[in-house]
Amino acid sequence: MLSLCCIMALLALSCPETSGNTAGVKVKLTQKGLEYGRQIGVTTLLDQFKTIKVPDFSGSEEVSPIGKVSYSLTGIKVINVGLPQSEVALVPGTGVSLTITEKHANIFCANSKSPAYSYIKDEGENGSFDLAVSELSISTTVTIQSDDTGRPVVSSANCAASVGQTSITFHGGASWLYNLFSSYIDDALRSVLQRKICPLVSEAIDKMNPYLKTLNVLAKVDQYAEIDYSMVESPVISTSSIDLSLKGEFYNIGEHKEPPFAPTPFSLPPDESNMLYMGISAFTANSAGFVYNNAGALSLRITDDMIPSSSPFRLNTKTFGTFIPQIAKQYPDLMMELLVKAATAPTVMFTPNNITLQANATVTAYAIQPNTTLTPLFILNVDASVSCQIYVTGVKVAGNLTLNAVNMTLGTSYVGPFEVKSLDSIFQMVLKAAVIPEVNALLQQGFPLPAIGEMNLVNTQLVIMKDYLLIGTDVQFTA
């Protein structure tokens, strides 16, 4: 049941009784995803059947023409169970139903002591027998709830188990003789099995809860930020999918301050070819910009060693003096440093097949004095537009920026007036050679998607929609 429960728990990160909030992230589990959980989950559940403890039992029967027969079966252990038919379905408003049926199921048992007869004393050796079960039926509903920490809790509800008929066949020793009265103990074994199945199913599902408690609904990104993937309303369970609305908001670690903007409502398309669909809104990306700007993390000092050695432009007063002569006159032969700092949080926009980011920053130029003190030269206001390529790596979303256009105006000059446009080529080179690579190095580390356990994404597809990023993917669990 591990994979089935993991897939369900992924969609039930928490279930607070709140509504009216708009989601930053939406998740949809399709019937294909449930089918994957069924395939692995049922196999795991059948392994649990091997743990059934069948109590020792004995009795006596009149068997014609032998007479009175006393029997005792001890140390019975299930060693194998045939794979039955099974199916999983969604129960609107509740959870997932699992049904296992098999007209002819074989259960192989061992370590049973040979029966003893009224006139044949045969302690016998440890033997084995086959138990054929007809009309085996198991059905249960797996419900999903939330504990007080916002973590998922799964449980079995409405379990029913039925064993129509059993037929036992002994092997080894005097099995030909034992089989003469095997029908007398069929009903006893059938009754034991029928009583054991539902508690076993419930136990198998309950064993998932300690594992699910390892889920952290706050996914840490780095030393500045974490993402809240708690649900903003109860899950919507239909006959074809489970749809989740997650908060999907970045916060500063230890400080949950809301941004001055809200998510734009969006809906996932009706696609069902993948197991799982995730929609990540522009709100989620913009909340990240808000958080990093609040943390003061959107600033970068640029020195000459960050400029490629092949570049004809060097970060010194000689180079800048070519365009602003007074710099070379007042501060001859000095190295320079640039401080690039966000003026406001960047804004991300999703349009079909396109992501753009608008950044407003200031660039302060300094001359580095021989005693290493910094003398301000000028401050520029910079508006930059960049394109962003998004991709999925592991269970993270990562990105890569490309500079589109830059517009600069003079904010403050400490060296007198100058023509800002003359610096376009220099700053285009500085942004492309130093700033963009630094930002990309951070973006390529990615931020975590909602996930649980040893979850891998396969056959992943990514499409940029209006106002959100759509990820369609299949899922594999390796534990």
Report the CATH number that the domain containing residue 416 is assigned in CATH.
Answer: 3.15.20.10
Residue 131: give its domain's CATH number: 3.15.10.10
Return the pLDDT at 311.
86
Burial classification of residue 167, based on how many CB atoms lie within 10 Å of its CB (0-12 exposed, 13-18 middle, 19 or more buried): middle
Domain count for the chain, please give it: 2
The predicted pLDDT at position 287 comes to: 97
pLDDT at position 421 is: 92
What's at 83, amino acid-wise? Answer: L
The Cα 76–Cα 79 span in angstroms is 9
Residues 225 and 286: their CA atoms lie apart, in Å, by 13
Residues 132 and 239 both lie in one domain: no
- Look at residue 2 and tell me if it is in a domain: no
For residues 331 and 375, the answer to whether their CB atoms sit within 8 Å is yes
Pairwise CA distance, residues 397 & 402, whole Å: 17
pLDDT confidence of residue 5:
45
Rounded to whole angstroms, how far apart are CA atoms 46 and 52? 10
Tally of CB atoms within 10 A around 362: 16
Residues of the chain with pLDDT under 50: 1-9, 11-20, 111-125
Contact 404, 428 (CB under 8 A): no
Backbone angles phi, psi at 7, to 5 degrees: -65, -40
The backbone torsions φ and ψ at residue 419, rounded to the nearest 5 degrees and listed phi first, read -85, 110
Q: Could you give the CA distance from residue 134 to residue 329 in angstroms, rounded to a whole number?
A: 99
Q: β-strands 354-368, 336-342: how paired?
A: antiparallel
The closest of 223, 234, 347, 343 to 283, measured between CA atoms, is 347
CA–CA gap between residue 381 and residue 384 (Å, rounded): 10
DSSP state of 209: H
Q: What is the pLDDT of residue 310?
A: 87
- Evaluate whether residue 356 is within a structural domain: yes
Domain boundary among 178, 212, 246: 212
Asked if 56 and 71 touch (Cβ cutoff 8 Å), the reply is no
* Together in a domain, 227 and 362: yes
- pLDDT the model gives residue 335: 97
Is 240 found in the same domain as 137?
A: no
Residues 320 and 181 in one domain: no
Q: ω before 437 within 30° of 0 (cis)?
A: no
Q: Does 248 lie in the same domain as 111?
A: no
Q: What pairs with residue 278 in β-bridges? A: 27, 471
- Positive or negative, the CA dihedral 386, 387, 391, 395 is positive
In a domain, 394, yes or no: yes
Print the domain residue range for 140: 31-212
pLDDT of residue 83: 60
Q: Are 442 and 305 in the same domain?
A: yes
Question: Do the beta carbons of residue 261 and residue 37 sit within 8 Å?
Answer: no
Q: Which two tokens stand for residue 462?
A: 């990514």
Tokens of 452: 């649980």
Whether 160 and 270 share a structural domain? no
pLDDT of residue 18: 41
Asked if the structure places residue 403 within a domain, the reply is yes
What letter represents residue 30's amino acid? T
Does 235 lie in the same domain as 208? no
Last residue of one domain, picked from the residues 196, 212, 228? 212
The verdict on 125 and 252 lying in the same domain is: no
φ, ψ for residue 215 (rounded to 5)?
-70, 130
> How far out from the chain centre does Cα 412 lie?
48
Looking at the domain assignment, is residue 6 inside a domain? Answer: no
State whether 327 and 375 are in the same domain: yes
Distance CA 198, CA 460 (A): 37
Q: Per the domain annotation, does 200 fall within a domain?
A: yes
Residue 158 lies in a domain: yes
The DSSP-derived string for 343-410 is SS--EEEEETTEEEEEEEEEEEEEEE-TTS-EEEEEEEEEEEEEEEEEEEETTEEEEEEEEEEEEEEE
Q: Do 203 and 293 share a structural domain?
A: no
User: Which domain-ending residue is among 193, 212, 231?
Assistant: 212
In angstroms, the CA 359 to CA 401 distance is: 12
Within a domain: 1: no
- Which among 131, 117, 112, 110 has a CA at the least distance from the CA of 183? 131
Cα separation values, 178 from 56, 67, 82, 168, Å: 17, 13, 24, 10
Signed CA dihedral, 359, 365, 366, 367: sign only: positive
Name 134's bridge partners: 104, 165
- pTM for the model stands at 0.79
Q: Do residue 228 and residue 111 come from a single domain?
A: no
The set of residues, in sequence order, having a beta carbon less than 8 Å from that of 178 and lying 6+ positions away, is 114, 115, 170
Which residue type does 275 have? M
Q: In 10 A of CB 66, how many CB atoms?
A: 15
